[in-house]
Amino acid sequence: MKKYYQPEIETMPREALQKLQSEKLCKQVKHVYENVAYYRDLMDKAGVKPEDIHGIEDLHLLPFISKYDLREAYPTGFLAVPKERCVRVHSTSGTTGKRVIAYYTQHDIDLWEDCCARAITAAGADKGDTLQICYGYGLFTGGMGLHGGSHKVGCMTLPMSSGNTERQIQFMMDLEASVLCCTPSYAAYIAETLKEMGYTPDKIPLKAGIFGAEPWTREMRESIEKSLGIKAYDIYGLTEMSGPGVAFECEAQSGMHINEDHFIAEIIDPQTGEVLPEGSEGELVFTCLDKEAFPLLRYRTRDICILSSEPCPCGRTHIKMRKPMGRSDDMMIIRGVNVFPSQIEAVLVKRGYSTNYRIELDRVNNSDTFDIYVELTPEQFTDTVREISAMERFLEGAIHTMIGISPKVHLVAPKTIDRSDGKAVRVVDKRKLHD
Amino acid sequence: MAISQLTVFVGNNKGSIADITEVLAKANVNLHAMNVADTDNFGILRLIADDADRALCALGEAKVLAKLRKVVCFEVPDEPGGLSKVLRLLADHDVNTEYMYSLITGSVKSAYIVIRVADNDVAEKLLTEAGYRVLNDEDVAGV
């Protein structure tokens, strides 16, 4: 079995890697300055010329790009090649505002699919494996990105797209899928359905899963691994950089290797924009190194995370990012306290509750209401109201211990909270704070 | 001994109990007793059926969350003070009843009471020794 998809790059000594990054960065900055008027203005305002960038040590001189800039420049403001050179677009869901349209030349697609191929190989897949891809196909990058990567590795690819769980399971069983690619919440749902149908983990053909596109906790990983009898690998990406595969987990399962020959990662203080030393927690910022159509420099992801370049037992030399604690967009401020849905999830999984939950926030008489709906499992259901109420109070206490404020927990019937075929809707914020 | 009670989770939405009773009607299950406990978010429906296993099967197929639980059922004279005597007896012996309801029967002389207690054996021994008739699943099907 192959260990690396591109060994010479994935295990390149760091010094050589940084030299490669420096060369690519100078070229990329020149390309952007010449072809993207919006960014040229930003650089001019900051008083930076492409000649000032001699290598990665000068990266901090470049201005940031935020989601705001992408909205301002919608739809073609960051397109850096003539449209006729592009072969595809993808788009974000636009749930937090205007969509971001990302453009790709064939070169851009190739490098993106290479990144996905590295992730698939790192999850232990090779020719002869069957990949079941139930990320959405279409504008969302999840489906097509891993699809292309799977072709590059030479795996048999099942382009299932999301939804129709019954059909997913039929294909998984009949075609003996060995690797499942989907969101962690959908993996948990498939696991639950398989269990209901009477399949024990040893009867499930899967050996690994590549799960991403939404935050998930270590507890959720353990629960998925146990119920499907697999190793679950994390994958990270964003449409603005290319899609899934910007970073991926190896067998060490201790953080995701960033594909540093294509993307430089920085951690900054989200308030001041100051670059923080390695090991600090802060906002993750990415710079493309060899993109043609949509080359973003110093793009602020809003993801909060930590980087580490400590040597990895897998032999890859690329820096690792810890699983993001949450997107700063996902962070809720409830009664003045910062809360991430992942913190709530960790409590639920630890106590044996379903990972299908919904947080509802509202404002009544100028104070925040904080309700969490959690599905009961059949095992937890009992015949007395007293016992179920006690479970609710217990969860409220456990969550209070975790985050410092008390929610009202409501246990509801199994399968009554909307299931996520794509990205899970965990938070419904009905507070109108900005009208 | 004790009898089998179906405990069914009822969501807080319109017609949810009707949905459940329709499933049981289709399975030709007859109900002898029912009781609902409600909270803000859901209800717990407790049923005594003529065939608890068949009822559980039918509910399972309809994806309704249901479980079986053994509860104590006994006969009391249908007259003033008939119930209070037996409840006093239980209380005096520290048998705490979590909930209680009565069974529908054709009898005019007797009433049948269902109680949920921590230890069925203790309660049944106490009731039998005091001269009360304690019922099993077959008895309930016949009343």
Residue A13 pLDDT exceeds 60: yes
Shortest Cα distance from B13 to chain A (angstroms)?
11
Orientation of helix B82-92 relative to helix B120-129, angle to 10°: 120
Shortest Cα distance from B38 to chain A (angstroms)?
8
- Nearest chain A residue to B100 by CA: give it: A384
Look at A382 and B7 and tell me if their CB atoms are within 8 Å: yes
Give which of A294, A297, A272 is closest to A285, Cα–Cα: A297
Phi, psi of A147 (to 5 degrees): -60, -50
Look at B98 and A384 and tell me if their CB atoms are within 8 Å: yes
Q: What pTM was estimated for this model as a whole?
A: 0.72
Residues A242 and A145: beta-carbon distance below 8 Å:
yes
CA separation for the pair A390, A247 (Å, rounded): 42
Write out chain A residues lying below 8 Å of B99, CB-based: 384
Structure tokens at B51: 């065939």
Residue A26 pLDDT exceeds 70: yes
CATH 3.30.70.260 in chain B, residue ranges: 72-142
Exposure string for A141-175, b = 16+ CB within 10 A, e = fewer: bbbbbbbbbbebbebbbbebbbeebeebbebbeee
Shortest Cα distance from B91 to chain A (angstroms)?
20
Look at B42 and A413 and tell me if their CB atoms are within 8 Å: yes
Residue A418 pLDDT exceeds 80: no
pLDDT at residue A422 in the model: 55
Question: Which is more confidently placed, A368 or A143?
Answer: A143
Structure tokens at A130: 């069957």
Residue A254 pLDDT exceeds 90: yes
CA A253 to chain centre: 15
pLDDT at residue A354 in the model: 83
**Given CB atoms, is B98 within the 8 Å cutoff of chain A?**
yes
For residue A99, give Cα distances in angstroms to A32, A76, A94, A162, A349: 22, 12, 4, 21, 33
Length of chain A: 435
Taking one residue from A and the other from B, the number of pairs with CB-CB distance under 8 angstroms is 45
Give which of A179, A261, A256, A205 is closest to A7, Cα–Cα: A261
Shortest Cα distance from A213 to chain B (angstroms)?
30
Confidence of residue A424 (pLDDT cuts 50, 70, 90): low
- Nearest chain A residue to B65 by CA: give it: A378
Closest Cβ–Cβ partner in B5, B41, B116 for A410: B41
- Nearest chain B residue to A416 by CA: give it: B11
pLDDT at residue B70 in the model: 95
**Given CB atoms, is A382 within the 8 Å cutoff of chain B?**
yes
Partner residues linked to B71 by β-bridges: B3
How large is the average pLDDT for residues A234-262? Answer: 96
CATH 3.30.2130.10 in chain B, residue ranges: 3-69
How large is the average pLDDT for residues B109-114? Answer: 92
pLDDT at residue A196 in the model: 87
Look at A410 and B46 and tell me if their CB atoms are within 8 Å: no
- Nearest chain A residue to B12 by CA: give it: A412
* Residue where the block lists tokens 């060490």: A252
Which H, E and C letters describe A312-339, residue by residue? CCCCCCCCEECCCCEECCCCEEECCEEE
For residue B3, give Cα distances in angstroms to A93, A245, B52, B108, B129: 55, 59, 9, 22, 19
How large is the average pLDDT for residues A129-155? Answer: 96
Confidence of residue A349 (pLDDT cuts 50, 70, 90): confident
pLDDT at residue A25 in the model: 98
Q: What are the helix and strand counts (H, E) for chain A?
A: 11, 21
Structure tokens at B42: 């859901």
Phi, psi of B120 (to 5 degrees): -60, -40
DSSP state of A366: T
Confidence of residue B106 (pLDDT cuts 50, 70, 90): confident
Q: Provide, rounded to the nearest whole percent, the portion of chain A with pLDDT above 70.
A: 95
How large is the average pLDDT for residues A368-382? Answer: 90
- Nearest chain A residue to B97 by CA: give it: A384
pLDDT at residue B109 in the model: 86
Tell how strand A208-212 and strand A231-238 pair up. Answer: parallel
The CATH number of the domain covering residues in B3-69: 3.30.2130.10
Residues in CB range of A210: below 8 A, 6 or more apart: A119, A120, A123, A146, A179, A180, A181, A233, A235, A248
- Nearest chain A residue to B99 by CA: give it: A384
How large is the average pLDDT for residues A298-322? Answer: 94
How large is the average pLDDT for residues A315-321? Answer: 97
pLDDT digits (tens, 9 = 90+) for A379-400: 888 888 889 889 999 999 999 9
Confidence of residue A320 (pLDDT cuts 50, 70, 90): very high
DSSP state of A84: G
Look at B9 and A386 and tell me if their CB atoms are within 8 Å: no
How large is the average pLDDT for residues A235-248? Answer: 96
Reduced to 3 states (helix: H, G, I; strand: E, B; else coil), residue B97 is: strand
pLDDT digits (tens, 9 = 90+) for A324-335: 866 666 778 788
Domains defined along chain A, listed by start: 1-328 (3.40.50.12780), 332-429 (3.30.300.30)
Structure tokens at B119: 């230890």
Residue A337 pLDDT exceeds 90: no
The CATH number of the domain covering residues in B72-142: 3.30.70.260
The stretches of A91-183 forming alpha helices (DSSP H) are 106-122, 141-153, 165-174
Residue A95 pLDDT exceeds 60: no
Write out chain A residues lying below 8 Å of B67, CB-based: 378, 381-383
> A-contacting residues of B 24-63, CB under 8 Å?
37-42, 44, 46, 63
How large is the average pLDDT for residues A91-95? Answer: 73
Residues in CB range of A422: below 8 A, 6 or more apart: A93, A135, A136, A140, A162, A183, A186, A213
Shortest Cα distance from B109 to chain A (angstroms)?
30
Report, in angstroms and rounded to the nearest whole number, the Rg of chain B calculated over CA atoms: 16
Look at A383 and B41 and tell me if their CB atoms are within 8 Å: no
Structure tokens at A298: 């110093």
Residue A96 pLDDT exceeds 80: no
Confidence of residue A55 (pLDDT cuts 50, 70, 90): very high
Q: What is the DSSP string of A198-263?
A: T--GGG----EEEEESS---HHHHHHHHHHHTSEEEEEEEETTTTEEEEEEE-TT-SSEEE-TTTE
Give which of B64, B10, B59 is closest to B37, Cα–Cα: B10
Question: Which residues in A36-114 belong to E strands, given as ranges?
Answer: 88-91, 101-104
pLDDT digits (tens, 9 = 90+) for B7-59: 999 887 888 899 999 999 999 999 999 999 987 778 899 999 999 999 999 99
Write out chain B residues lying below 8 Å of A386, CB-based: 98
pLDDT at residue B3 in the model: 95
Query: Which amino acid is residue B49, in one-letter code?
Result: A
Confidence of residue A434 (pLDDT cuts 50, 70, 90): very low
Look at A384 and B37 and tell me if their CB atoms are within 8 Å: yes
Interface test with B, best of A357, A383, A395, A396 (most B CBs within 10 A): A383
pLDDT at residue A189 in the model: 85
CA separation for the pair B29, B57 (Å, rounded): 11
pLDDT digits (tens, 9 = 90+) for A163-221: 888 899 999 999 999 999 998 888 988 998 899 899 999 999 999 999 998 778 888 89
Give which of B80, B142, B78, B66 is closest to B113, Cα–Cα: B78
pLDDT at residue A364 in the model: 84
Question: Which is more confidently placed, A423 or A122?
Answer: A122
ipTM over 0.90: no
Look at B9 and A384 and tell me if their CB atoms are within 8 Å: no
Residues A229 and A246: beta-carbon distance below 8 Å:
no
Look over chain A and give the mean of its residue pLDDT values, rounded to a whole number. Answer: 91
Q: What are the helix and strand counts (H, E) for chain B?
A: 5, 6
Look at B98 and A386 and tell me if their CB atoms are within 8 Å: yes
Write out chain A residues lying below 8 Å of B41, CB-based: 410-412
Confidence of residue A435 (pLDDT cuts 50, 70, 90): very low
Question: Exposure of B54 by Cβ count < 10 A (0-12 exposed, 13-18 middle, 19+ buried)?
Answer: middle
DSSP state of A12: -
